[in-house]
Amino acid sequence: MPKVQFIDPSVARQAGEITFNPIPVNQYAKTVAEEKANFSNDDFLRIYHDMVVIREFETMLNLIKTTGEYSAIPYDHPGPAHLSAGQEAAAVGMAYTLTVDDFIFGSHRSHGEILAKGLSAIQKLNDTDLLAIMESFFNGTVLNVVKKDFIGTTKELGRRFLIYGTLAEIFARETGFNKGLGGSMHAFFTPFGVYPNNAIVGGSGDISVGAALYKKINRKPGLVVANIGDASMACGPVWEGLSFASMDQFNELWEGDMKGGLPVIFNVMNNQYGMGGQTCGETMGYGKVARIGAGVNPEQMHSESVDGYNPLAVIDAYRRKRQLIDEKKGPILLEILTYRYSGHSPSDASSYRSKEEIEAWQAQDSIASFGKSLVDAKVTDQNTLDTVWADIKQIMVEMLKLSINDEVSPRMDIRQRPEQIGEMIFSNQSVDKMEDRTPEVNHPMAENPRVIQISKKERFAFDADGKPFSKMKQYQLRDGIFDAIVDRFYKDPTLVAYGEENRDWGGAFAVYRGLTEALPYHRLFNSPISEASIVGTAIGYAMCGGRVIPEIMYCDFLGRCGDEVFNQLPKWQAMSGNMLKMPVVMRVSVGSKYGAQHSQDWTSLVAHIPGLKVVFPVTPYDAKGLMNSALQGTDPVIFFESQRVYDIGEQFHKGGVPEGYYEIPFGEPDVKREGKDVTILTIGATLYRALDAAKILEEKYGLSAEVIDARSLVPFNYEKVVASVKKTGRIIVSGDATSRGSFLNDLARNITELAFDYLDAPPVVVGSRNWITPAYELEEAFFPQPEWFIDAIHEKIVPLKGHVSGQNFSDLEQIRRAKLGV
């Protein structure tokens, strides 16, 4: 797209070949003795210690799950426990060199990574900072449990804090790292650089790229490690994360210090199995995960396969890869070969592998062999190693006792405070900017060509005589969205926007026209056509502390980022116990005219998912006000826009769209036309067809319709609608979504409950037919039309003299259609 890049046909058509460099596999061959220059004896012992902590932690959980007790302490843990005994060297090797500023993301099998990275951070933090972190976390709630009656060093206290916080989280205790709302598969602790682990296979594959994007764009120190499994390499979002992370533009188009690759390492913990499927030999064809790097970019992602049974090999790899990251040569792909002894979960009978195989790997156990090599190299003796074990076993017993003690480690009291979880679904904050520094822009806002152009437009659609101005002259809906976004770009230095065709083109629907001139590349750029990575990276960007506007060009593409929108974006605020904020304003454009895969209103899908705010403004005034609110907030917002009305002027708000900043609170429907005989509540651009229907009702049937624009779906304040229904006794709920299972039914059901005694007829839903969206020329058979409202009133609310229905709203037809599923 960028004009500076000339695609020369004579070059493009030249003959040649693509060559690959050899990818190293298990090349590390140093002995402990040889590494003594790089590690002190304490360092060696610490590596051993950290591995044992993981082994004992996982052993403890395995015994609790399989025998109901550990060291004669009985406990029942009904929740999940995906254990990583066997993978300790991989985890500790990965975390050993990482600084507190380096972030790791993980998978469902990440207890080991949490502990390894936590222990690494404790080691690197000075006592003051460590204590400050522990004291400030949830006002010292976790610390208070582990420091009671404890005498020892701050770092030892830190170790107790880490083990206890993780264990209590696994056991769903309010004193856990995430108040017990994350659990085994999602536990994390950001002050130690441990970012969310993810129960969706490959879930971290794109989120961690967003974290790296955040570090790069906001010049934050540290790198990001995506700990994913060998089986996740088949997942689309992982590939999308790889593609996004390796975009040419970082090196080719981003300017100044922004030039260069993303600081991200895809760390594939290859334990040979994806649940019960054997990746190498059965479910995948890559042979070695590291091979994939060769297909991603010319640098082959600096891919390498490393022996994850030797912690020193992994540490060595990380030292070399950090160097590359520092030189802005990311992204990196690392395959860490390892093996898990336990099943996928304790209920797994390992029917897919032989006992001999497990025993063969156990014979080369990483902890035992590393301990032996330390003794052989005279770094330590067996006694010392035995003491390490004994010490760790003792702390495990202590921490287990504490974490299962209902008095010191209570669960959330959902009887006393039944709304506690509800209170964490949204953070509901009002924040001008996520960080206080000067935003990077190319020129003052007043000099922006689009800003100048808009300033000359008519901010109300009609002149003093009620005559409409020409479309070109009207301040349009797209101008309202632009106004709010450009304003925030000049306020919040962390704000970035990206998606397909966002730069240069100005977005497929010209909302961003003028932004390219105003912003440097790293604040506005084009993404691959890869919705999972667009949304997934935005999630990572936001959870690290930035504000971001990802764009999905057509609502129909929501399915392409289904996991990101349904499982990731809405969940992390609450799953973190409100530690994380998620200021993501996801723009989604609802199409028309383009048939079955480009014209669907899927507002209902996102409204169904708890944790998302959903708005759908269809007037310039509402669009600007709601976008301002969205960008001022700290919650994920799905901001729907309709391609039917990007060019519409403001027809309702007297005085037109204000020039200054204003916010429209979420959840407040707006009465666009007053009436007293029937209420019509609409979602989206259906509003304008409802207004046409209101006109027909008035002129032909003497009925005065009150038309209400929902504006928001989540949250939604029913008071105004109920007040209207109390007045009219009748209501039609309408939108362009296919009616079966749509949010329209949700509205209708709630209105029925809230206004039952005032209803003169059941609320009637007028949605689209449960078909494919046909061609534009046939759309009037599919989307609600003005006449449909009259038909619905005639058939279901009050028969209209002389009316002949075009659409069949009879009970019989309703039953017939449902029977047929159409």
Q: Quick one: which segment of 338-346, 655-663, 699-707, 734-742 binds other proteins (CB under 8 A)? A: 699-707
Closest CA to 275 of 327, 206, 347: 347
Residue 754 sits in the site that holds other proteins (CB under 8 A): no
The nearest distance, CB 798 to other proteins, in angstroms, is 6
Q: Is 632 helix (H, G, I), strand (E, B) or coil?
A: helix
Among positions 507-566, residues that touch other proteins (CB under 8 A) are none
- Closest CB 791 distance from other proteins, rounded Å: 12
With tokens 């990583």, the residue in question is 84
| Part in contact with other proteins (CB under 8 A); list of ranges 104-112, 398-406, 649-657, 754-762 | 754-762
Give the burial string for 77-89 (b: 16+ CB within 10 Å, else e): beebbbbbbbbbb
Q: What's CA 400's distance to the chain center, in Å?
A: 32
Rounded to the nearest 5 percent, the helix, strand and coil shares of the chain are 45, 15, 45
- Considering the complex, what minimum distance in angstroms separates the CB of residue 745 from other proteins? 20
Say how far apart CA 64 and CA 73 lie, in whole Å: 9
Nearer to other proteins, 378 or 695 (CB): 695
Q: Which backbone phi and psi does 274 adopt, to 5 degrees?
A: -105, 100
Of the candidates 694, 723, 682, the one whose C-alpha atom is nearest the C-alpha of residue 793 is 694
Window of 160-168, 286-294, 379-387, 751-759 that interacts with other proteins by CB under 8 A: 751-759
Does 729 bind other proteins (CB under 8 A)? Our answer is yes
Residues 74-113 that bind other proteins (CB under 8 A): none
- Per rule CB under 8 A, count of chain residues that contact other proteins: 21
Nearest CA-CA partner of 490 in 430, 546, 454, 437: 437
Nearer to other proteins, 298 or 799 (CB): 799
Q: Nearest-CA neighbor of 277 among 334, 337, 229?
A: 229
Residue placing its CB nearer to other proteins in the complex, 618 or 764 = 764
Tokens 């400050």 label which residue?
A: 132
- How far apart CA 217 and CA 210 sit, in angstroms, is 10
Cβ burial, residue 819 (10 Å; 0-12/13-18/19+): exposed
Amino acid at position 512, single letter: Y
Neighbouring CB atoms inside 10 A of 740's CB total 17
State the catalytic residue, choosing from 49, 302, 598, 653: 598
Measured CA to CA, the distance from residue 781 to residue 787 in angstroms comes to 11
User: For other proteins, which is the closer residue by CB, 477 or 703?
Assistant: 703
Out of 161, 254, 701, 788, name the contact with other proteins by CB under 8 A: 701
Nearer to other proteins, 437 or 700 (CB): 700
> And the tokens for 593?
């005219």
CA atoms within 13 A on the CB side of 775: 1
Which runs of consecutive H residues, i.e. helices, occur in 218-350?
236-245, 249-252, 293-296, 311-326
Least distance from other proteins to the Cβ atom of residue 703, Å:
7
Helix pair 41-67, 154-170: axis angle to 10 deg: 30
Count the Cβ atoms, other than its own, within 10 Å of residue 11: 9
Minimum distance from residue 587 beta carbon to other proteins (Å):
41
Q: Can 598 be counted among the known catalytic residues?
A: yes
Site residues for other proteins, window 657-676 (CB under 8 A)?
676
Smaller CB separation from other proteins, 590 or 722:
722
Question: Closest CB to other proteins among 236 and 729?
Answer: 729
The dihedral region occupied by 375, where left means phi > 0, alpha psi between -120 and 50, and beta the remainder, is alpha
Give the shortest CB-811-to-other proteins separation in angstroms. 8
Minimum distance, C-beta of residue 673 to other proteins, in the bound complex (Å): 17
Q: How far lies 493's CA from each of 239, 311, 435, 545, in Å? A: 30, 40, 7, 11
Q: Which amino acid, residue 112?
A: G
CA-derived radius of gyration, the chain: 30
Q: Which is nearer to other proteins, 530 or 728 (CB)?
A: 728
* Minimum CB distance to other proteins smaller for 419 or for 811: 811
**Tokens matching residue 281:** 């030999």
Nearest approach in angstroms of CB 759 to other proteins is 5
Q: How far is the CB of 702 from other proteins (least distance, A)?
A: 4
Instruction: By CB under 8 A, name the one of 16, 256, 655, 702 that touches other proteins.
Output: 702
Q: Does 20 bind other proteins (CB under 8 A)?
A: no
Q: Is position 677 an interface residue for other proteins (rule: CB under 8 A)?
A: yes
| Phi-psi sector, 418: left (phi>0), alpha (psi -120 to 50), beta | alpha
For the CB of residue 795, give the shortest distance to other proteins in the complex, in Å: 6
Nearer to other proteins, 8 or 811 (CB): 811
Among positions 755-814, residues that touch other proteins (CB under 8 A) are: 756-761, 795-802, 811
Residues that bind other proteins (CB under 8 A): 676-677, 701-703, 729, 756-761, 795-802, 811
Active site residues: 598
